[in-house]
Amino acid sequence: MNNHEVHKTRAETLDPAFAALIRHLLERELLDDTIVVCGGEFGRTPRINATGGRNHWPHGFTIAMAGGGIPGGQVIGETSPNPNPEAKDKAKDVKDPQQVANIHATVLQSLGIDFEQELMTPVGRPMIVSKGTPIKQLLNTA
């Protein structure tokens, strides 16, 4: 599989669609009340492997967020371009790491939802909506 060509083709589809969605929400004055999140379930290694691809890398991944009062033009966190795949603590290669639960808490708080509230499941089990901590830079409260 030609990983780079496939990625390029998919980006040519996603990028204008993502931008158009944000533009349409902005034009209709809906962006402040809507959060758009674009991301995958895991990252890819910073290095190209022997077959020209990139392996799964759950230690860092990228998401894009817009709307809900989240200030744009920010980059939060950073992974090393030369991680040590044999290292026991791969978080040492990450600057300002964020947990997925923090993203959830940020989205919920931005939408005015109490992310710390406890709800009961249908079987009577209590569950916290999110155990994360909102990312202050994304809430313009840093």
pLDDT given for residue 98 in this prediction? 87
Let me know whether 64 and 123 are in one domain.
no
Let me know whether 91 and 105 are in one domain.
no
Domain extent at residue 105: 98-142
Distance CA 59, CA 50 (A): 21
Domain end, chosen from 96, 117, 132, is at: 96
pLDDT given for residue 56 in this prediction? 85
The pLDDT of residue 77 is above 90:
no
Let me know whether 85 and 113 are in one domain.
no
pLDDT given for residue 105 in this prediction? 96
Let me know whether 29 and 68 are in one domain.
yes
Place 34 in a pLDDT band, splitting at 50, 70 and 90.
very high
Q: How many domains does the chain have?
A: 2
Mean pLDDT rounded to a whole number for the chain: 87
Let me know whether 3 and 59 are in one domain.
yes
CA 58 → CA 61, 62, 104, 112, distances in Å?
Answer: 7, 11, 17, 29
Let me know whether 91 and 103 are in one domain.
no
Could you report the per-residue pLDDT of 48-63, keeping only the tens digit for each? 888 888 888 777 788 9
pLDDT given for residue 44 in this prediction? 83
Let me know whether 113 and 55 are in one domain.
no
Let me know whether 39 and 104 are in one domain.
no
Could you report the per-residue pLDDT of 3-31, keeping only the tens digit for each? 788 889 999 999 999 999 999 999 999 99
Let me know whether 55 and 82 are in one domain.
yes
